Structure 1
């Protein structure tokens, strides 16, 4: 299992591994508040990203986490909120 902190760099790595990146998108730029759609990631890519996060971090994310998180910042925050909540 990975560390308990999920960072923007972790998200970028997982996005690239699962869905790659559009030719006109620079994930090394200031992307934290850009919509995933602006970055070229549609719902299917985000579902794959969610699955990869779950496997790597040993967690289960609600579907709402992926549908409500429209920017990298909101997804990173949601994952970290989940990681900081004790398992039931």
Structure 2
């Protein structure tokens, strides 16, 4: 395996990780920002008010995008396993 192939495999894996984590975290961050602005405007400092909406949005996002994320992960893994003979030789 040449260094270029190893770097390319590592790049693909990192991109997949960024995609999975970003899709799970970004909606939660947006909702957290909206709830924080609401709390600052109304001066309500309740911890569950910021936690529950973020949790619900993350769960809904993972339910909605979960099949696509799993298919992307499976496609990468299948591609990696199928190319083992070419990567070694």
What is the TM-score normalised by the length of structure 2? 0.30
Higher helix share: 2
